[in-house]
């Protein structure tokens, strides 16, 4: 069975809604998948219902932003109860932080000399089907950048005083996932996004009682994947993987890549959480 446990939809920054995602999963021959939107579970129920109709297995998930000393880490939560109050409070908090940084980044760009009309930005209606988020698509439409790469290279930069907000500590994300009956998995630990080495990252999260690692990811080379798998095997932790697909929004993130079979993963009691 082909598996992809890291996919984003229009609920966060992907450009596929639940219907298109399920259609694409069937076309790709994926039998088990998970939606892991950033700090929201808005599309889980609809996707689960459509997956059942399509005879696909579905694992409820979410990807929670966290921060340690200006370093960003993403924590995947699988098998979660979307009605849990502790998890819901944390997700709403993180969503508010990102909405605030959208507004603040536009103000700082205006302060740095860009001819942006703030009232026009506030009135701008973001179309989720484009992928991305409000400030990005507004700036693209106004001609200040061409795509997400230019956005992060020239606009959303520390030189302009703009950076991601300080999200809660990973321990809070792990605790919220546990409160919601789920299991926590460290996303893409070998990514340069974190700013630390693979060994440093894994050692830290072992102390935080992480329950698994996303060993298979498009940004991992074979050596990184092997190291992460061995690390999990030694400790008996969950082994997951996924494409981090955002539909067509993020280049190089294709559904079902890396190609994974269920036998390559260790899902443990997550198999009891599958919706079928």
What is the block-wise mean pLDDT of the chain (276 residues), using blocks of 10 residues? 98 98 98 98 98 98 95 96 97 97 96 96 96 98 96 95 95 98 97 82 94 97 97 98 96 94 97 93
For residues 121 and 221, state if they share a domain: no
- End-to-end, the C-alpha distance of the chain in Å comes to 14
| pLDDT value for 42 | 98
Cα distance between residue 19 and residue 17, in whole Å: 6
For residues 39 and 63, state if they share a domain: yes
**C-alpha of 14 from chain center:** 10
Count how many domains the chain has.
Answer: 2
Domain boundary among 112, 128, 160: 160
Domain that holds residue 131: 99-160
The total of other beta-carbon atoms located within 10 Å of residue 102's CB is 16
For residues 179 and 150, state if they share a domain: no
For residues 172 and 265, state if they share a domain: yes
For residues 76 and 170, state if they share a domain: yes
For residues 155 and 170, state if they share a domain: no
For residues 206 and 116, state if they share a domain: no
Domain boundary among 144, 160, 176: 160
For residues 77 and 124, state if they share a domain: no
| pLDDT value for 129 | 96
| Token pair for 83 | 């009605």
Cα distance between residue 38 and residue 165, in whole Å: 14
| pLDDT value for 69 | 87
Domain boundary among 142, 160, 178: 160
For residues 86 and 121, state if they share a domain: no
Query: Which of left, alpha, beta for 175 (phi over 0: left; psi -120 to 50: alpha)?
Result: alpha
Buried b (16+ CB within 10 A) or exposed e, 128-162: bebbbbbbbbbbbeeebbeebeebeeebbeeebeb
For tokens 């400030």, the residue is 135
For residues 115 and 242, state if they share a domain: no
For residues 229 and 246, state if they share a domain: yes
């Amino acid at each position: 069975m082909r598996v992809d446990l890291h996919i984003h939809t229009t609920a966060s920054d992907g450009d596929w809604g639940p219907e298109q995602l399920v259609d694409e999963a069937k076309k790709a021959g994926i039998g088990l998948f998970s939606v892991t939107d950033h700090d929201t579970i808005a599309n889980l129920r609809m996707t689960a219902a459509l997956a059942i109709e399509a005879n696909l297995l579905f694992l409820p998930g979410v990807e929670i932003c966290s921060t340690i000393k200006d370093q960003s880490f993403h924590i995947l939560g699988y098998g979660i109860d979307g009605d849990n109050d502790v998890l819901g409070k944390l997700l709403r908090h993180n969503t508010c932080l990102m909405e605030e940084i959208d507004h603040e980044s536009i103000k700082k760009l205006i302060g740095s000399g860009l001819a942006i009309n703030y009232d026009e930005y506030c009135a701008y209606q973001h179309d989720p089907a484009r992928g991305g988020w409000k400030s990005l698509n507004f700036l693209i439409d106004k001609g200040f950048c061409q795509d997400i790469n230019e956005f992060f290279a020239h606009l959303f930069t520390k030189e302009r005083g703009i950076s991601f907000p300080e999200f809660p500590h990973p321990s809070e994300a792990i605790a919220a996932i546990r409160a919601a009956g789920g299991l926590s998995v460290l996303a893409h630990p070998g990514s340069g996004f974190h700013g630390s080495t693979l060994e440093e990252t894994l050692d830290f999260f072992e102390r935080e009682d992480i329950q698994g690692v996303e060993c298979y990811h498009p940004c991992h080379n074979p050596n990184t994947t092997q190291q992460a798998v061995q690390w999990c095997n030694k400790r008996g932790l969950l082994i997951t993987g996924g494409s981090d697909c955002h539909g067509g929004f993020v280049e190089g993130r294709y559904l079902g890549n890396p190609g994974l079979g269920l036998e390559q993963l260790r899902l443990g009691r997550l198999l009891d959480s599958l919706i079928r």
